[in-house]
Structure 1
Amino acid sequence: MKSTLEVMTSILQEVNQLSNLQQRPYEDECSSNESDTKDAKPEECSHAQVVKMIRSIQSLVPLDQNTSDRLNSSTDESPKQLSDYDLLHAIQECSEMTKSLNYSQTKLLQIKIDDTVTNKIMSNIEKCFTLIDSHEFHNHYFSLTANSCKLYHSTLTNPLNIKEFKPRSYIEYATVYASNNVYVFGGTESPNTYSRLYLPELRWYNDLPITSIDGGQSISTCYDGDRHIYLVGGIINGYRSNRVDRFNIVTQQFSHVGSLPTPLNSAGVFFHSGKLYVIGGYHTNDTQLGTILSFDVTTPHCDIHTYGLNVGQSISHFFDGKDIYLLSTNGFFRVNLASKEVKGLTQPKSTDYHKLFFDGKIRLLVGIGNNMEYSKESDNWKQLNDNYRSEPLGLHAGMCLINS
């Protein structure tokens, strides 16, 4: 280290001498070697640039007091013009000095890893931790009514009853699963609060306040797969709303996003590629909009994606990544997202208070004796067992699929 400091100090001294050189006419340099410099006209380096370089090097290398004082004194002198040849000569001398330094070559070391021991250590480390941010209820169906809260699964003869729930109604579109939690927003009983069921512990957090935005009932919700749940429309203080708001599942904060062109409630909503697709929705007490709206959450701008749909009462829907499937009392339809082509499909035997789900297979849950599965290939429905839903869904009950 001492040798390195001595060399660096010598370099600084050379640079300092460079700053004190007298200006030499460009012609003198050319005359000493006219043939080599006939076509060259190098630019000159200002004294200020040299001083800047000295200051930079000083900040990196500790100097003895005499050297530091001498350099500080020299850099405060009046600016002098130096040619590129002067600077090049000084740099060449510095380069030659660095070549004289002798550093011992670093010895290359090899490490042998015992895979057997390493694997045992990793296994023991894993045993030290338990992931609580996970649960055993993937592919279950969550249900909340004013009187019960249950989890259904095809393998369970009896559904799992969950206690300490907050009774809520008019939440059929306001119940959504996101990142190990089921969220239920608003409802007739408590329009300005929401509830959260933490599935790893089956623990309810009730009466959480809805702040910064309005609550309401018959709100439509969907999860974007990342960190936001969107809240669309609904009935607020007796009036339909055109709001588009969102809830951050990380910060647990609400914020306003934009507005739809018309107030509505109980619409089907899903998120895809930065847009919300709003299917139907009541704009009067008994009339559904016959449209699918496309709302860009970034701009925010709303367009009509599809119009002229024959949407009846009690709608449910799903999106499979390519097509939108829509079921109501007026029929079962498929709408291609890209081409917007609408195609009628075979309707199931029961459409009262139903809920469509898609997890690779299309399932319709209505209640005892009416649970069905749809085949895209044959355009037919077949009966499912009552384990999927052993009691009637009922009016305004909330239900959602807990995705894997």
Structure 2
Amino acid sequence: MFSKILIANRGEIAVRIIRACREMDIETVAVYSTADAEALHTQLADEAVCIGEANPLKSYLDMKSILSAAVLTGAEAIHPGFGFLSENSKFATMCEECGITFIGPTADMIDRMGNKSEARKTMIAAGVPVVPGSEGAIESIEAGLALAEDIGFPVMIKASAGGGGRGMRIAHNKDEFINNFNTAQAEARTAFGDDTMYIEKYIEEPRHIEFQIIGDEHGHVIHLGERDCSIQRRHQKVIEEAPSAALTEEIRVAMGKDAVKAARSINYKNAGTIEFLLDKHGVYYFIEMNTRIQVEHPITEMITGIDLIKEQLRVAAGEELSIGQEDVVIKGHAIECRINAEDPSNNFMPSPGKIDQLYIPGGFGVRVDSAVYNQYKIPPNYDSMIAKLIVHDTDRDKAIGKMKRALGEFVVNGIKTNIDFQYALINNEKFQKNQIDTAFIEKNWSDLNA
């Protein structure tokens, strides 16, 4: 096992990793920008190194500065968390060239699954069901339109290198296709430096289901059940649940087997997710793989009792997984609400600033992953998520009741947050009856803002 690890991230995920390392007697190195000098992760780590300015391009995305910090402090491995460099194959390669372990998959795995059209071809070859669409990248808008007319509108236009909803548009007819293809391609070129596109049949009223998988270099690949990430706003997840109330046991078993098959097809190691869309008829399709730990991983930990970060560390150190598929037992139901510093009444604009008063909820079955504290000043330079509120109980109804109670206790004064919006979502009758899909917020906007 490693003796010292550098965490190439910030916020709650950096704190989460530091805590796991401390429990395993592993020293940690935090990196921080000038905007994060007082951040909690810098205070909890054994060492902290400033790597640059507030601009993430000059700090958290500066690969040379991060690697220099690792060499300077004698760190044997780097955990990238999520976001930033977590799915950057160049960074994974640079770590290897410097003799530093990248706690994640290999650069080749990141490239194969990070490119959506390449991932699609890989899954077709592996026999995993995919959404009808292009076999690979679309060569031209004319070729794309011909295919769209062949598979039938509506279709989803997607950037091959996309993520977070960028470079993605829906087209319901020929005219929309031409306009939206050009818009999505331009957005992809700006966001990713890659304007290759592919298209898929648009699945109406879908649920977004992801399976947590993890593999080691000894050939073991298992899944730890599914998460339902259907409550989204502009393709960004807002509430996640585990397990999904939409799956029958038959579908759950089949999806789990396909998730493992997908990971085995590339000899995957470390943590990741296989993402599916489930239509209203119970038919599911692979859409992508995320080759990193996910924001919502705590709900899987709550229902399985398995620490995913510790398993990541074991795998990266060359050890075997500490559990087998037979050891994964799902107990109860967990829900996660993402608490963001943003103003829902003003188009969810970010709301950085100083927290004047903070009360974090607790009690049996309540977990809060966060890096904020009373009087902490939230910088305007990074993602607006300031906490993840996670609850666990014996079933979905009880978990919803617990989340209501916990949200009601959560106090953050001095800035705007989405706590009240989350409370409205949890209290929505259709949500409580499990009548949801990925367009739930859009469909119920008036009720949620009454």
The two structures have a TM-score, normalised by structure 2, of 0.24
Larger Rg: 1
Greater RCO (CA < 8 Å, at least 6 residues apart): 2
TM-score (norm: length of structure 1): 0.26
